[in-house]
């Protein structure tokens, strides 16, 4: 069918044509935002899930909804090795500037901007442009320890937002790349905010390992956060994700064809979008048939192998590739470290460093009870296709 009308054509970070099966999480976020705006105790949210399940598009959707409800929304993505101070600084500045234009909040926002100047100087962040009316304010956000300085600023933002009748939602993607100290500072800040009933919330997203990280970082994080897990779509939602956009383009898909995609993708959104896109382009139309779906399978896998899967493995060294290969050869995960070591003819302790570096690259994670698993769904099958 006409590729110009392909509703599944991939676009980076774009909203899927049908955001299926996530209403419970969207409602949870809506309630938290609504409560925060009313000065009620509201829990922040940490979305946990493997790669390609739809965490980023959910964050974006939550942000859009929150904006409509009157919150100021900031969005940061944590790249490997970047400090939170640097990431979050421009966002805090934007929010404070925008609040300083509201008469009722001007005084507090200006104090916040003063604190932010101290913050920038102690954390060696370059500030372009001169702040209007900013005076040095000793004692505010200038210890150089994020655990103390970030809460100062969050509280001023919260108070200014409250005075303006607004709220602040901070979205942080790829939370697993934050250092433990940064994550801990963030949690302390949110804790202070919640004690004071200020309208500030965070919605984060990251790999499943962060639930544990946050637990270690601060024991009270369990009360501060809700941890909804973002997994594959259930069969009904997966079907909707495919069929609705097709119908909207005045095409259709046979039940058998639909079921085949739902079953073989196991409901994984990245796989669904890719397959639906390939079959759309390959289909005669206006009805997508089982034969066309089946025919498009090999091409879909080849595209995923060349794109989605390959970019992940390209980031690994040779030794790291051998390690993940050994994992994949054991079949489906999770994998016991002892088994991986045994199949490589190595001791567990000699593999410690490579295991740690593959984890830090976000390729595998250590699940409960010390088992290892891939952060990319179906990655084991991909690895086995390679050899
Ligand atoms: N609920 C959903 N329904 C349909 N497609 C989805 C859904 N969530 C995500 N997708 C699609 O899946 C792919 C991966 O989504 P993304 O948000 O980048 O995943 P993650 O951030 O978890 O790695 C994208 O193509 C996206 O459009
Ligand atoms: Mg993402």
Mean pLDDT for 334-357 is 96
Domain 23-226: CATH architecture, name and number where available: 3-Layer(aba) Sandwich (3.40)
Tell me the pLDDT band of 372, cut-offs 50, 70 and 90: very high
Mean pLDDT for 345-366 is 94
Residue among 19, 25, 57, 311 whose CB has most ligand 1 atoms within 8 A, to mutate: 57
DSSP code of 45? E
Please report the pLDDT score of residue 126 as a whole number. Answer: 76
Query: Which residues surround ligand 1 with Cβ inside 6 Å?
Result: 16, 18-22, 49, 51-57, 241, 269-270, 273
Look up the pTM and report it. Answer: 0.93
- Residues spanned by CATH 1.10.8 within the chain? 233-313
Indicate whether 217 pLDDT > 70: no
Closest ligand 1 atom to residue 15 Cα is 27
Indicate whether 320 pLDDT > 90: yes
DSSP code of 373? E
Phi and psi for 275 in degrees, rounded to 5?
-65, -45
Indicate whether 15 pLDDT > 60: yes
Please report the pLDDT score of residue 140 as a whole number. Answer: 84
267 C-alpha vs ligand 1 centroid, how far in Å? 11
pLDDT, averaged across the chain: 92
Rg (CA), the chain: 23
Please report the pLDDT score of residue 173 as a whole number. Answer: 96
Note the pLDDT tens digit of each residue in 271-299: 999 999 999 999 998 999 999 999 999 99
Which residue, judged by its Cα, is nearest atom 6 of ligand 1?
269
Phi and psi for 225 in degrees, rounded to 5?
-115, 150
Half-sphere exposure of 165 (CA within 13 A, CB side): 5
Note the pLDDT tens digit of each residue in 224-276: 899 999 999 999 999 999 999 999 999 999 999 999 999 999 999 999 999 99
Which residue, judged by its Cα, is nearest atom 8 of ligand 1?
54
Q: Specify the range with the lowest mean pLDDT, choosing from 76-85, 137-146, 290-299, 323-332.
A: 137-146
Residue with the larger pLDDT of the pair 195 and 275: 275
**Nearest ligand, CA of residue 176?**
2
CB atoms within 10 A of CB 30: 16
β-pairing verdict for 167-173 and 200-206: parallel
Please report the pLDDT score of residue 12 as a whole number. Answer: 58
Instruction: Extract the tokens encoding 187.
Output: 């949690």
Please report the pLDDT score of residue 310 as a whole number. Answer: 92
Please report the pLDDT score of residue 351 as a whole number. Answer: 96
211 C-alpha vs ligand 1 centroid, how far in Å? 21
Closest ligand 1 atom to residue 268 Cα is 12
Closest ligand 1 atom to residue 60 Cα is 17
Note the pLDDT tens digit of each residue in 37-95: 998 888 999 999 999 999 999 999 999 999 999 999 999 998 888 899 999 999 999 99
Give the best-scoring range by mean pLDDT among 127-131, 290-294, 363-367.
290-294
- Residues spanned by CATH 1.10.10.10 within the chain? 318-386
Mean pLDDT for 114-133 is 77
- Residues spanned by CATH 3.40.50.300 within the chain? 23-226
Residue with the larger pLDDT of the pair 159 and 123: 159
Indicate whether 213 pLDDT > 80: no
Domain 318-386: CATH architecture, name and number where available: Orthogonal Bundle (1.10)
| Secondary structure tally for the chain: helices H, strands E | 17, 9
Tell me the pLDDT band of 386, cut-offs 50, 70 and 90: confident
Mean pLDDT for 355-375 is 89
Please report the pLDDT score of residue 208 as a whole number. Answer: 87
Fold of the CATH domain 233-313: Helicase, Ruva Protein; domain 3 (1.10.8)
Helix (H, G, I), strand (E, B) or coil at 75: strand
205 C-alpha vs ligand 2 centroid, how far in Å? 8
Q: Phi/psi class of residue 37: alpha, beta or left (left: φ > 0; alpha: ψ in -120 to 50)?
A: alpha
Indicate whether 133 pLDDT > 60: no
Residue among 60, 270, 271, 376 whose CB has most ligand 1 atoms within 8 A, to mutate: 270
Mean pLDDT for 210-226 is 74
CA angle 372, 377, 383 (to 5 degrees): 75
Contact yes or no for 22/238 (Cβ under 8 A): no
Mean pLDDT for 106-124 is 92
Indicate whether 130 pLDDT > 80: no
């Amino acid at each position: 069918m006409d590729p110009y009308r392909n509703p599944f054509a991939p676009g980076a970070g774009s909203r899927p044509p049908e955001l299926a099966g996530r209403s419970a999480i969207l409602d949870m976020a809506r309630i938290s935002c609504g409560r925060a705006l009313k000065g009620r105790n509201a829990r922040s949210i940490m979305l946990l899930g493997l790669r390609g399940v739809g965490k980023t598009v959910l964050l974006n959707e939550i942000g859009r909804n929150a904006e409509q409800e009157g919150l100021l929304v900031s969005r940061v993505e944590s790249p490997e090795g970047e400090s939170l101070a640097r990431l979050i600084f421009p966002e805090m500045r934007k929010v404070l500037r925008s609040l300083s234009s509201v008469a009722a909040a001007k005084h507090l926002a200006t104090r916040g901007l003063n604190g932010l100047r101290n913050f920038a100087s102690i954390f060696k962040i370059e500030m372009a442009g001169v702040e209007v009316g900013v005076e040095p304010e000793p004692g505010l956000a200038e210890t150089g320890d994020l655990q103390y300085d970030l809460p100062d600023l969050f509280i001023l933002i919260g108070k200014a937002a409250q005075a303006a009748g607004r709220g602040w939602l901070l979205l942080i993607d790829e939370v697993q790349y934050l250092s433990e100290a940064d994550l801990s500072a963030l949690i302390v800040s949110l804790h202070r905010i919640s004690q004071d009933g200020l309208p500030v919330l965070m919605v984060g997203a990251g790999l499943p390992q962060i639930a544990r990280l946050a637990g270690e970082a601060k024991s009270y994080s369990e009360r501060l956060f809700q941890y909804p897990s973002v997994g594959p779509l259930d069969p009904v939602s997966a079907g909707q994700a495919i069929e609705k956009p097709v119908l909207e383009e005045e095409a259709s898909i046979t039940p058998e064809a639909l079921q085949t995609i739902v079953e073989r993708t196991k409901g994984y959104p990245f796989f669904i979008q890719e397959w639906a896109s390939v079959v759309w382009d390959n289909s005669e139309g206006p009805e997508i048939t089982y034969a066309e779906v089946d025919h498009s399978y090999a091409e879909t896998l080849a595209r995923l192998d060349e794109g989605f899967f390959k970019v992940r493995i390209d980031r690994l060294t040779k030794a790291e590739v051998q390690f993940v290969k050994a994992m994949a050869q054991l079949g489906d995960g999770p994998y016991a470290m002892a088994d991986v070591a045994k199949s490589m003819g190595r001791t567990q302790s000699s593999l410690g460093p490579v295991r740690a570096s593959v984890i830090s690259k976000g390729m595998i994670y250590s699940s409960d009870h010390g088992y290892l698993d891939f952060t990319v769904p179906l990655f084991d099958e991909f690895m086995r296709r390679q050899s």
